[in-house]
Amino acid sequence: MNIYQQEKCWAAIVQFGGQTPLNLAAALQANGVNIIGTQPQSIEMAEDRKHFAAMLQRLGLNQPPNGTATDEGEAVKVARSIGYPVLVRPSFVLGGRAMEIVYDEEDLRRYIRTAVEASPERPVLVDRFLDDAIEVDVDCIADGEIAVIGAVMQHIEEAGIHSGDSACVIPAFSLSAKVISTIETATQAMAKELAVRGLMNVQFAVKDDEVYVLEVNPRASRTVPFVSKALGVPLAKLAAKVMAGKSLRELGFTTKILPPHFSVKEAVFPFIRFPGIDIMLGPEMKSTGEVMGIADDLGLAYAKSQMAAQPPLPSGGNVFVSVKDSDKPETVRLAAELIRLGFKLYATSGTAQALISAQVPVKRLFKLAEGRPHALDMLKNGEIDLIINTPSGKVPRKDEIQIRSLAVAQRIPILTTTSGVEASIRAIKAIQAKGISVTPLQKYHAATRP
């Protein structure tokens, strides 16, 4: 306020500073600040759970069953009514802090008692968690009259991992045209209902071709620089002009651009600086940066993103595989693909047995407490080039943490989701077939213009 008054500012923009400026918007307006762009009343409609649910109902849009709780008893009642698993979180969070996926009542009671302080002023949000759903981010820009889709971004990792920690792809690579149309229509309807002027980000989940709205952020998201670079369109600059009074028609940006190339955003993590920390991802954000890969082929674009994020994917060598029971059927298919690509597989007893039963060649290794040779020995000797390790339960086993931690220290790529394995196999195939080539960014951007 002191700066605003001292500089005799005409107006303030609250869309470019993440969540904090949105939390301050109503108080700034109440103290005489001229907020340009999306107004605080619209921000409240998107942020307040009851207002948001009412808006979605008016528009005929789906959201996962949910409720709010101010104490342990209410939380248990909500969870029983909507069914487990549930995603629980405090009302006002940054970076997914204190979010958790809870699978039973015992864990929910523990969460309410130890992880958060629930109260009427700060209720806990309880949402039905959609297992095995595809998460989708959408950035759009609106001027009060029209809303233009910037990009529909399909996540590599399934819903449940914080969007800031997930790799995502422009354009969406496996969603049907019908699902994409539903997502775009829903985004434009919400932008109009919220009277958005500037940028808006929406997070969706797609399960069995059904589209659910997870949340709406009436501001610039962390994905805006990625979308802008993928398309060659300065979305933040256009949004600032819209907030200052220009229309999208005046600015010449009225239709969605569908690029002929693929762009992949990958998260960068600080795990190498924290020896011994477990690297498993979840609803709470852990990444500290982002990189991007771009190519005409999705596999190459993903491979480039992994090269930028480090460590890069190998084009051959030995793979250690250890996955939870529910992932074994899918892992058998993916492991067979790795064999066809020339890799040799090593696995502990349970995973090895699943592969042997499917006639996938694999060499069995001992678990750490069973004897030698085991995975840590091979890692220390530089004999493992890639690790596939999905968590075995809510509490990770000591063996898994040791293997994952050593892999980080040795800069060995480690894949912790089957969707990540599938994307990596696509990338390795592309590397083996085509190799890595470099094309100037300007050439990609030229191809997106009419």
Q: Which residue has the tokens 């992932």?
A: 327
Place of tokens 């085509």: 434
Q: Give the bridge partners for 321, in sequence order.
A: 347, 388
Residue 450, pLDDT > 90, answer: no
Q: Among the listed ranges 65-74, 215-224, 395-404, 425-434, which one has the minimum average pLDDT value?
A: 395-404
- Residue 334 amino acid letter: L
Sign of CA dihedral 400, 405, 410, 416: positive
| Residue 397 confidence (pLDDT) above 70 | no
Burial grade of 450 (CB within 10 A; 0-12, 13-18, 19 or more): exposed
Q: At what angle do helices 349-357 and 328-340 cross, to 10 degrees?
A: 70
pLDDT tens, residue by residue, 90-117: 765 554 567 888 999 999 998 888 876 6
List of domains in the chain: 2-43 (3.40.50.20), 66-128 (3.30.1490.20), 309-434 (3.40.50.1380)
Q: Is 90 exceeded by the pLDDT of residue 337? A: yes
Question: For 152-180, how does the pLDDT look when each residue is reduced to its tens digit (9 = 90+)?
Answer: 999 999 888 888 899 999 999 999 999 99
Give the neighbor-by-neighbor strand order of the sheet with 210-217: 210-217, 197-207, 134-143, 147-158, 168-170, 262-268, 289-295
Say which residues have a Cβ less than 8 Å from residue 370's Cβ, sequence separation at least 6: none
Which pairing describes strands 414-415 and 386-389: parallel, antiparallel, or unpaired? parallel
Q: What is the pLDDT of residue 48?
A: 83
Centre a 10 Å sphere on the Cβ of residue 400 and count the other Cβ atoms it contains. 21
**Tell me, what's the pLDDT at 370?**
84
Average pLDDT score over the chain = 91
Q: What is the DSSP string of 144-173?
A: SS-EEEEEEEEEEEETTS-GGGS-EEES-S
Residue 147 pLDDT more than 80?
yes
Using only C-alpha atoms, what is the Rg of the chain?
Answer: 23
Q: What is the pLDDT of residues 301-335, one digit of tens each?
A: 999 999 999 999 999 999 999 999 989 999 999 99
Residue range 240-299, pLDDT digits in tens:
999 999 999 999 999 999 999 999 999 999 998 887 777 888 888 889 999 999 999 999
What is residue 367's predicted lDDT score, i.e. its pLDDT?
A: 86
pLDDT level of residue 121 (50, 70, 90 thresholds): low
